[in-house]
Amino acid sequence: MQFIENLKQKVGKWVFQRDLKTNMRTKEACNLKDAKSIGILYDATSEEQIKMIKPFVTYFFDLKKDVKALGFVNSKQLSYCHVPKLQYDFFYKKDLNWYYKPQNYIIDNFIKKEYDILINLCDSSVIPIKYLVASSIAHFKIGIYEENYEIYDLMLSLKDDKSMEKLMHEIKHYINLINKKDG
């Protein structure tokens, strides 16, 4: 079984690298003031994780941004807390092909939208989210710093406190600083 799992991961890594090279997007730094649309990717396996992200999504929505949060549920079925709402969509293991690449119409719509800012709140261990970041044509991609992982335009390194709350706080801080114009 381990051999098959390793093969899936190697094929997935090869496809990921190929998709990354063929992704034609317009890279453009964007601050929060100028952003019109924001995509957020996160791990939505537990109800606690969904509750944790809600204030982050609401923050952008209250600023009149077009926000879409797409959560990956690491399970073979969705539960009562995974009901799609206006700003929230979900995908799960059933939506992955044999080498973990997400595939369905919700995912296609998400990666084809030219978000001004795409925020990934997961590390690279969440393979399906990694595919979405690489495939997205978003102009400005933000994520956690990881060595040899160059798919972001802005990477944040968290030293001591590596919590989701700290990451969301830092992202809000830095996208408010980018490209600020005086006057």
User: At how many degrees (to 10) do helices 127-135 and 2-22 cross?
Assistant: 20
What is the reported pTM? Answer: 0.91
Q: How far apart are CA 123 and CA 14, in angstroms?
A: 19
Alpha-carbon span 117 to 141, nearest angstrom: 6
* Partners of 69 in beta bridges: 40, 88
Give the model confidence (pLDDT) of 147-178 as tens digits: 877 789 999 988 888 788 999 999 999 999 88
Distances from the Cα of 165 to the Cα of 102, 142, 148, angstroms: 26, 15, 25
Residues 108 and 126 sit within 8 Å (Cβ to Cβ): no
117-120 and 37-43: which strand pairing?
A: parallel
> Strand 140-144 and strand 66-73: pairing?
unpaired
User: What is the number of residues in the chain?
Assistant: 183
DSSP string, 104-136: SHHHHHHHHS--SEEEE-S-TT-HHHHHHHHH-
And the tokens for 149?
């992982």
User: What's the pLDDT tens digit per position in 98-146?
Assistant: 888 999 999 999 999 999 999 999 987 888 998 899 899 999 999 998 8
Residue-range domain boundaries for the chain: 2-177
pLDDT at 67 over 70: yes
Q: Given this structure, which CATH class describes domain 2-177?
A: alpha beta
